[in-house]
Structure 1
Amino acid sequence: MPASGTFNWETSERWVRGTRGGVTVVDSRHPVLVWEASHPVPRYAFPEAEVRADLLRPAAAPPATGVHEGSTVFHDLVIGGETVANAAWSYPALPGHIAFEWFLHDGEVLEHWYEEEEEIFVHPRDPYKRVDPVPGSRHVRVEIGGRVVAETRRPVLLFETGLPTRYYLPPEDVNLELFEPTATSTRCPYKGIASYWSLREGGSVPADVAWAYPDPIPAAERIRDHVAFYNEVVDIVVDGVKLERPVTLFTERLLES
């Protein structure tokens, strides 16, 4: 497993493709998974021969040095009459390879990414990260401001490396009349596309406090339509024991909303 907080890479045997506007920009059978020291999730870098280099131009306005592990060679992507600034770069430690932005970019770079024949979102899946949805029989109660909003004895417990256990409850065991759906939608490479609810009364509870995956990827099928709540801002009682509210990478955003 790569050491966190350091620059690491390893080869992958997955067939990876990336497209924009129906044009295949990346078609690689020799991708390299890259972990940057400042990012907890991996990226891909590809051999130059497996990238449409003819669509790349030297970046007109490259970012300041120090971005992407000291990379100084950046590329704009020119395709379909559009120019995507700083869409790709080369790592000094990985000569002959080109990486593309997937996230933390002002706009979409490549519209679709595939591993083999499965579309993937947000970032490549980390081979050292597990996401296990496990059916359970624990008595789970969710409270907001002292009021019970959901209660079940048939949760699906989702164990995800680096995050607290999430408790996914059958929708019929959640008082959805207390909530209203929002327009928020997020993507997870391990679970799929999520839809959200906010508490109708609002108050001190952040918006989008609950979510579900109506059409999860096959590996997460067990959580289909089940509703989960952010442990960080609601009270979850499991078998009579109130859980401590964890501090996670979501906490700051939730408390500011």
Structure 2
Amino acid sequence: MATFPTARAVRMTPEGLLWEPSERWVRGRKGDVTVVDSRHPVLVWEPGLPVPLYAFPREEVREELLRPAKNPPTGTHFGSRIFYDLEVGGGLLENAAWTFPADDLAGHISFEWFRRSGRGLDHWYEEEEEIFIHPRDPHKRVDAIPSSRHVRVEIDGTVVADTRRPVLLFETGLPVRYYIPREDVRLDLLVPTEHSTGCPYKGTAEYWSWRGDADVPPNLLWSYPDPLPAVGAVKGLLAFYNEAVDITVDGERVERPVTPFSKTPAARPPT
């Protein structure tokens, strides 16, 4: 009889790093140059960070493009042993790659993701699908479920959305997000902005800010015009940061959550 593991296959190094082999085919590019082409990547979770990184066997990395870092940083990536600059396309990307200080990960190299840190490789693929910001956590679930709940949203006492046909997005470790049809949102009270973010689970989001004088952060409303297939139910719908507005569901006020988005929501990708 076949048996299947029931616990996470994550391992911990003596230094406190969590890691797990992945069976996904992962490629990383800078422009048109493929720097990483790996069928044996490893997911690594640094202490205190909720999202993983990839580390790759050296033989699946184009090491000839790496140079010992001229100005290696300190106190980043959990005390990494060695940093590398990446020379590609006639340019030099400082501290684009590093090794972790763990014997379990000896022989592996990690890379910065441009859309996460502002430097590093700018295109990443799992199999044939491009992913953004960071690898997708295999232990995280995202479900977009149509609902008939009555959802009302207020900003500084003004009702800005009222619907009985939301889509509720449940994402592991984060508060429920209420995606609302455009017809049920007072978009005349908001203004579109140039801001956008990418999410490896949902796609690329566009934003709106509040027009009024209320003390709320900018970019507090977002939408995915072309979401990834797994969350296709939110296509074109609008969601507010629970952390910045007042939401009532079926007559019950939802407590504002405290999350990494609480102070400056749009500084991080929406959920």
Question: TM-score, with normalisation over the residues of structure 1?
Answer: 0.94
Equivalent in 127, 132, 135 of residue 124 of structure 1: 135
Task: Please tell me whether residue 69 in structure 1 is matched to residue 88 in structure 2.
Answer: no
- Counterpart residue identity of residue 56, structure 1: L
Deviates more, 1:236-245 or 1:66-75: 66-75
Residue 13 of structure 1 aligns with which residue? 23
Percent identity, please.
63
- Counterpart residue identity of residue 44, structure 1: Y
Alignment size in residue pairs: 255
Conserved? CA contact 1:6–1:35, under 8 Å = no
**Secondary structure of the corresponding residue to residue 252 of structure 1:** coil
| Aligned equivalents of 1:106, 1:246: Cα separation in 2 | 26
Alpha-carbon distance, 1:77 to partner:
0.1
Cα distance change, pair 254–137 in 1 and its aligned pair in 2 (3 A) = same
| Aligned equivalents of 2:68, 2:11: Cα separation in 1 | 32
| Aligned equivalents of 2:215, 2:133: Cα separation in 1 | 30
| Aligned equivalents of 2:266, 2:132: Cα separation in 1 | 26
Alpha-carbon distance, 1:212 to partner:
0.5
Conserved? CA contact 2:114–2:122, under 8 Å = no
Equivalent in 225, 229, 243 of residue 232 of structure 1: 243
Residue 167 of structure 1 aligns with which residue? 178
Return structure 1 stretches of 4+ with deviation > 6 angstroms.
none
Equivalent in 175, 189, 192 of residue 200 of structure 2: 189
Task: Please tell me whether residue 211 in structure 1 is matched to residue 229 in structure 2.
Answer: no
Residue 151 of structure 1 aligns with which residue? 162
Conserved? CA contact 2:84–2:95, under 8 Å = yes
Q: Specify every segment of 5 or more residues in structure 1 that has no aligned partner in the other structure, as ranges.
A: none
Task: Please tell me whether residue 84 in structure 1 is matched to residue 87 in structure 2.
Answer: no
Residue 257 of structure 2 aligns with which residue? 246
Equivalent in 66, 71, 74 of residue 56 of structure 1: 66
Deviates more, 1:6-15 or 1:43-52: 6-15
- Counterpart residue identity of residue 244, structure 2: V
Alpha-carbon distance, 1:86 to partner:
0.5
| Aligned equivalents of 1:165, 1:145: Cα separation in 2 | 21
- Indicate the RMSD between aligned Cα atoms, in angstroms: 2.0
Residue 28 of structure 1 aligns with which residue? 38
**Secondary structure of the corresponding residue to residue 233 of structure 2:** helix
- Counterpart residue identity of residue 52, structure 2: P
Alpha-carbon distance, 1:222 to partner:
0.5
Alpha-carbon deviations, 1:22-56, whole Å to 9, x = none?
01000000000001113211000000000000000
Residue 42 of structure 1 aligns with which residue? 52
| Aligned equivalents of 1:152, 1:12: Cα separation in 2 | 41
Residue 100 of structure 1 aligns with which residue? 111
| Aligned equivalents of 1:71, 1:242: Cα separation in 2 | 45
Q: Specify every segment of 5 or more residues in structure 2 that has no aligned partner in the other structure, as ranges.
A: 1-7
**Secondary structure of the corresponding residue to residue 190 of structure 1:** coil
| Aligned equivalents of 1:154, 1:3: Cα separation in 2 | 43
